[in-house]
Amino acid sequence: MSSQPVQQPFRTTEIGDTPAVTAPDGARVHPLLVLEGQGSLAVFELDPGEVTRAVSHATVQELWQVTAGGGELWRRQGDREETVRLAPGTAVSIPLGTAFQFRSDPDGDGPLRIAAVTLPPWPGTDTEARSEDGPWKATVR
């Protein structure tokens, strides 16, 4: 006998339907959708020339896809460290505990925009994002 999955409501939203909030790293975030207990979807934005604060997450990991603009992502996990180019179509992972920081190109004609899935859903606690040392000086508030 197979068990039935828990039914969740259908949801449809657009970026303009939810107010932007500030993420712990300083990026603008448009929270979009949540599948309870599974994951959440949001869009992050940085204006041209902005640099986030370096952070790591205590309980969540993320999958990103760049949808507009350009920039760079730095990430470190243990002894592994890299900086990668962010451009439309680029997808990256932020595994649990990874220190990361990102920045948008200073000469961009619009914001760096990233669609991100958080697994499990973003918990909304003050202890989720931990401050880390990153390669760049943050410019966000």
* pLDDT at position 4: 76
Q: 81 near 132, Cβ under 8 Å?
A: no
Q: Is residue 35 part of a domain?
A: yes
Distance CA 87, CA 97 (A): 24
Question: Model-level pTM?
Answer: 0.92
Q: For position 28, what pLDDT does the model report? A: 97
Look at residue 51 and tell me if it is in a domain: yes
Contacts of 78 by beta carbon, 8 Å cutoff, 6+ apart: none
Successive 10-residue mean pLDDT values, the chain, 141 residues:
76 91 96 94 97 97 98 97 98 98 95 98 91 98 83
For residue 79, the one-letter residue type is: D
Q: How far apart are the first and last CA of the chain?
A: 54
Domain of residue 112 covers: 29-131
Number of domains present in the structure of the chain: 1
* pLDDT on residue 108: 87
Cβ atoms < 10 Å from Cβ of 79:
5
pLDDT of residue 2: 64
Across the beta sheet with 21-22, the strand order is 21-22, 28-35, 39-46, 112-119, 61-68, 91-94
Tell whether 17 is covered by a domain: no
Domain of 114, CATH number, reads 2.60.120.10
Q: Which two tokens stand for residue 133?
A: 């040392």
